[in-house]
A and B are shown apart, each in its own frame.
Chain A
């Protein structure tokens, strides 16, 4: 056990799985970096933010493959390799680039097993960074997990801390279905105690980061930390919250969400993705349908507006959910007055 960053935890998960299973390979743009350059340094970058640093040195060019900047062909190649005996971990760099290769994910990879009558296995992991907070603007800041969650055949993982990232990524690499693994780019330097050895965290099992009596907060990825910050503050004001980190949006741990809502009767959902048809909308529908009678107040969603992610810091801060917005939403559901029917 030692303190590790989100970046190190993800790197270690890949390294341990590559040592364990020779079929695990890494591919993506600049995952080594430097091939064809004039310095002769062939692992110059280790990924654009250094997440795959050192893997090329340990495993060599047959297992750590730099690609041209052609997402459709190499994501498709990762799928084809997965369907024929390898276990690729393909890095899509920014999830926004899925626009260049969505067909290979949506129409090919995700559907192989079903449309071929259960005869295909596609153990593919696509890693990508997502999220706003770095002034990366509209084409490098989106939180597109609802897009993938919408597609049957894909599993979608959103780790909320270094510990979670390592266990969930090892689980993803060992999983026999295609997995989209989304890393919030603002979290790479977050640190916490992470075991040195390999461990797995199962998909579809939510983590309760705290338990309380008054309000259930469901949050994803980086929002889990913000939800806990808000809950700390609310605790001092006498409001106790449960915070649920679902860990995966597909599969989604519906039971834990419904159980917690049954206990608290109030629900706030914190979702960084664009508001229409996002996870907040999805979970709202679930709770409205399955736990309507438990609700003491309307569901509140802490979500961005229906706009592209803006560039300027002042606008980006307005755009994003934060602890203050979460706190306000919790207070709003606490203060809701039930009007009795006459």
Chain B
């Protein structure tokens, strides 16, 4: 597989940015300074980045509770995201959405979603817009194995097929819906579910950027060519709890340690590109350093940023009322 050097560098930077963003939130959340709930994407970076590396700003995505990674992968600006998570007026949603509703329409990122299974119907609609307006765009619905059981998701698989919509349904299967294992909660298989709707199905190892990039590329090309929807099943592991503060007492000792040791997408990426002579260690080190600085300055800026004003409470309920 040929991947442009520029794409490799950009994708590594996006994965590293997600990792550092989330690791930093893990630390900062524990101090109590971040309000609300956060759900971290650590361990899953190659999925969002591998898929979104095949997209443009003209394409549309919907995300999940675990939305920071999809935002960064889709090009949402990090300082605006960090300020949003701190509830500041400089946030990408002006402090009105927070972690669970982080969004940037200008990047085709239609939001993290606080409702499990909330996104797939919306992506049927975004795909309908792309199809009707003939703008060449497609829609990608990211959702978890938990959301794969929601009626909204199953209805969307049907609707997208009936209407032959350009949607890619990306099941990010980390094996847990909150604290309940998918081996308990998911009947049958994702593959058979796709087949049940007459929908093509692809799967890949979500810790391998190259596998995700290539498989997602095929899925996206299928949708973009007007062949209708397709399901992409990405096998993943999450490194932290469902939310920050979850002690993960439902996971076997050593499960996460093993994932970190053997399935770290950043380690695997570095090994592959350096051994193949595609990129140098020094280039990757330089990205690591630049990302460290970017995250640090985004946290400093977020902490110093102004809080929303009381008048913001009443603003933007309607366009006009």
One of A101-109, A139-147, A219-227, A319-327 at the interface: A101-109
Of B19-27, B154-162, B212-220, which binds chain A? Answer: B154-162
A73 touches B316 (CB 8 A): no
Task: Given A81-B128, A108-B122, answer yes or no on A119-B163 (Cβ-Cβ < 8 Å).
Answer: no
Given A84-B60, A107-B114, A117-B316, A77 and B121 touching (CB < 8 A)? yes
Assuming the A-B contacts A76-B122, A116-B105, are A81 and B129 also in contact, with contact meaning beta carbons closer than 8 angstroms in the complex? yes
Given the interface pairs A76-B122, A116-B101, the reply to whether A104 lies near B130 with Cβ below 8 Å is: no
Q: Give the contacts of B109-166 with A (CB-CB under 8 A).
A: 110-111, 113-115, 118, 120-130, 132-133, 139, 151-152, 155-156, 158-159, 162-163
Partner of B133, one of A67, A85, A107, A113: A85
- Among A74, A111, A116, the one with the most B-chain Cβ atoms within 10 Å of its Cβ is A116
Contact A86–B129 (Cβ < 8 Å): yes
Instruction: Judge whether A75 is part of the interface by a CB distance below 8 angstroms.
Output: yes
Q: Which residue of A lies closest to B80 (CB)?
A: A117
Q: Are B318 and A177 in contact, with the CB atoms below 8 A?
A: yes
Chain B residues near A75 (CB, 8 Å)?
121
Which residues in A have their C-beta under 8 angstroms from that of B97? 115-117
Verify A86–B319 contact, CB threshold 8 A. no
A76 touches B320 (CB 8 A): no
Question: Complex formed: what's the CA distance from A113 to B93 in Å?
Answer: 10
Q: Name the distance in Å between A182's Cβ and chain B's nearest Cβ.
A: 18
Q: Which of B95, B105, B125, B319 contacts A78 (CB 8 A)?
A: B125
- A82 contacts B111, CB within 8 Å? no
* B38 CB, nearest partner CB in chain A, Å: 16
Q: A206 CA to B120 CA in the complex, in Å?
A: 39
Does B282 belong to the interface (CB within 8 Å)? no
Given contacts A65-B163, A72-B152, contact A80 B124 (CB under 8 A): yes
- Inter-chain contacts of B156 with A (CB < 8 A): 73, 76-77
From A25, A80, A85, A251, contact of B122 by CB (8 A):
A80
Closest residue to A82 on the B side, CB-wise? B125
A85 to B92, CA, bound (A): 21
B317 proximal to A (CB < 8 A):
yes
Known: A80-B122, A83-B110. A74 touches B159 (CB 8 A): yes
Among A32-69, those with CB < 8 Å from B are 62-63, 65, 67-68
- Is A81's CB under 8 angstroms from B125's CB? yes
The complex places the Cα of A84 from the Cα of B59 at a distance, in Å, of: 10
Q: How close is A21's CB to chain B, nearest CB, in angstroms? A: 13
Which A residues touch B93, using CB under 8 A?
A: 115-117, 119
Check B158–A73 contact: CB distance below 8 A.
yes
Residue from A70, A73, A153 whose CB has the most chain B CB atoms within 10 Å: A73
**Chain A residues whose C-beta falls within 8 Å of the C-beta of B67 in the assembled complex:** none
CA distance A152 to B317 in the complex (A): 7
Which of chain A's residues have a CB closer than 8 A to the CB of B319? 113, 121, 175-177
Known: A81-B128, A115-B93. A104 touches B121 (CB 8 A): yes
Cα A115 to Cα B96 in complex, Å, equals 5
B252 interface hit (Cβ, 8 Å): no
Contact partner of A114 (CB less than 8 A), chosen from B123, B128, B316, is B316
Known contacts: A115-B97, A120-B105, A176-B319. The answer to whether A84 contacts B159 by CB under 8 A is no
B103 is an interface residue with CB less than 8 A from chain A: yes
B91 within 8 A of A: yes
Given A70-B159, A251-B321, A103 and B152 touching (CB < 8 A)? yes
* A80 close to B121 (CB less than 8 A): yes
In the assembled complex, the CB of A92 is this many whole angstroms from the nearest CB of chain B, namely 14
**B101 engages A115 (CB within 8 Å):** yes
4 additional contacts, CB 8 Å, given A81-B125, A251-B321? A72-B155, A73-B120, A80-B110, A120-B103
Shortest beta-carbon contacts, A-B, top 8: A76-B121, A80-B125, A118-B316, A80-B122, A73-B155, A117-B94, A117-B93, A81-B125
Provide a sorted-by-A list of 7 A–B residue pairs whose CB atoms are within 8 angstroms. Answer: A73-B124, A76-B121, A77-B128, A104-B122, A115-B101, A117-B97, A177-B320
